[in-house]
Amino acid sequence: MPSRPHDIPHLSAQALSQAIHQKQVSCREVMTATLTQIDRLNPDSNAIVSRVPHDLLLQQADERDAQLARDQSMGWMHGMPQAIKDLSHAQGLRTTLGSPLMKDFVASEDGLMAQRMKAAGAIVIGKTNTPEFGLGSHTFNEVFGPTRNAWDPSKSAGGSSGGAAVALAQRMLPVADGSDFMGSLRNPAGWNHVFGLRPSQGRVPMWPAQDVFLAQLGTEGPMARHVRDLALLLSTQAGPHAKNPLSLTQDPAVFAGPLNSDSTDQRIGWLGNLQGYLPMEEGILELCQSALNRFSGMGCTVDEAVLGMPPEQIWQAWLVWRQALVGPRVAPFLVKPANRAHIKPEALWEHDQSLTLNGAQLMSASASRTRFYQSMLQLFEKFDVLAIPVAQVWPFDVHMRWPQNIAGQAMDTYHRWMEVVIYATFAGLPSISVPAGFGANGLPMGLALIGKPQGDLDLLKLAHAYEMANQDMIAMRPEGT
């Protein structure tokens, strides 16, 4: 039980849920403490946007307390403050997508993820900031401005779930939702010293959606400061949905069960920088290798792993898929030609490149993707988990759009510096970013673990064992929180 109100934001989500249900704290006290924390820290970090007025939130908290007084609980998130990533709908709140063209759009209904979290008792307090259209792993836009790194406000928070990661790290939220196409749950988690899970393809269905058959590279998912909380949120987000015919049918309640497991003899394949293919800033590989040493100390076996397909072939196939899926998302905003002046150049590039694609190119890229998937299956005959740095650069200057070069190597696209994250996405595999520690520059970095097909639970169990074995490092928090 928290001894003082300002202790409440530091509770794990699981502990907070227990305290609420055991009536050690009221939902009003939780909401008041959360809003106090946000009022204190959010003006500098700019993680939470489109906030709901305090009086309305306190009224909802009182309603949750009244339910508990009648021995009625909506679920494990009963009375828990939650903010929705600003790419997803929450009824009555703006869904801006970080775009000036959408700055006044108010959602008339909840998206599926918000529906499920509200049904579990969560109270939506606002949105979390994201890059324009969610493109680029750096959270800034012309509607709300940049979100600043929780550990160094002069640095990027990552993205596109940057607002969610910073809100977690600064104890403004107990758990957070996000989405991941090109590392958007993993990169900001790594850069803010929290956990971020990209679930298996189809694990967390998305609705509304423009397409539910082809567009499977992007997925929503959970973020948390603790793996147990991450799994609990996944149990709420996951599960089949009739409007998503490719959603996985496994009962999501499995993620709410025990995570304790014996990590001894787990075989981890270290991909590193892919034998020198991926440029990395100084210190990243070394820090991630120190995290791997922690796994070795837990009884895991760590050996070098080599992709079974040339990385440049994977990248070229990825570009086709990325442009084919992202371009049509931007296209509706260009029905009015004058809108081009209000769309960031990176989004225009994705759209314009997509116009040159044809069906034969997409089918060829799909065949390449199939070969890549088969090569990953071969790796999993030797390894239980693959490991790779979650980013190729440290958090960079918050005013920079994107890194132009890494270790002297020029980046030929606005997202080439994020190439390290595409392998889990392209194969539809689950991947979790676990904190690797801090570099000599004082900045956090993450290690990405990639699991077997639909192996989300096994991946969570390994990450949980890592957290339990390294609690002193995991428990570190930004100054002032």
Picking from 110, 93, 128, 291, the residue whose alpha carbon sits closest to that of residue 222 is 128
At 240 the pLDDT is 98
pLDDT digits (tens, 9 = 90+) for 427-468: 999 999 999 999 999 999 999 999 999 999 999 999 999 999
Helix axes 162-169, 27-45, angle to 10 degrees: 120
Residue positions counted in the chain: 481
pLDDT score of 22 more than 90: yes
| Confidence band, pLDDT 50/70/90 cuts, at residue 1 | low
Contact between residue 477 and residue 457 where contact means Cβ atoms under 8 Å apart: no
Give the residue, 80 or 265, on which the prediction is more confident: 80
Give CA–CA dist 340/271, Å, rounded: 40
At 452 the pLDDT is 98
Question: Please, what is the average pLDDT of the chain?
Answer: 97
pLDDT score of 277 more than 60: yes
At 115 the pLDDT is 98
152's tokens: 């160094």
* Pairing outcome for strands 267-270 and 301-304: parallel
* pLDDT more than 90, % of the chain: 98
Picking from 316, 319, 328, the residue whose alpha carbon sits closest to that of residue 355 is 328
Give, for 423, the enclosing helix (H) or strand (E).
helix 422-427
At 6 the pLDDT is 74
pLDDT score of 122 more than 60: yes
pLDDT digits (tens, 9 = 90+) for 160-191: 999 999 999 999 999 999 999 999 999 999 99
* pLDDT more than 70, % of the chain: 99
Which pTM does this prediction carry?
A: 0.98
pLDDT digits (tens, 9 = 90+) for 332-365: 999 999 999 999 999 999 999 999 999 999 999 9
At 3 the pLDDT is 53
At 5 the pLDDT is 73
Q: Out of 3.90.1300.10, 1.10.1740.10, 3.30.450.40, 1.20.20.10, which CATH number does the structure's domain 129-474 have?
A: 3.90.1300.10
| Confidence band, pLDDT 50/70/90 cuts, at residue 125 | very high
Give CA–CA dist 163/83, Å, rounded: 10
Q: What is the mean pLDDT of residues 282-292?
A: 98
Instruction: Give exposure, 259-286, as e/b (b: 16+ Cβ within 10 Å).
Output: beeebeebebbbbbbbeeebbbbeebbe
Which of these ranges, 6-10, 147-151, 180-184, 293-297, has the smallest mean pLDDT? 6-10
| Confidence band, pLDDT 50/70/90 cuts, at residue 263 | confident
CB within 8 Å of 384: residues ≥ 6 apart: 266, 267, 268, 452, 458, 462
Q: What is the mean pLDDT of residues 250-275?
A: 96
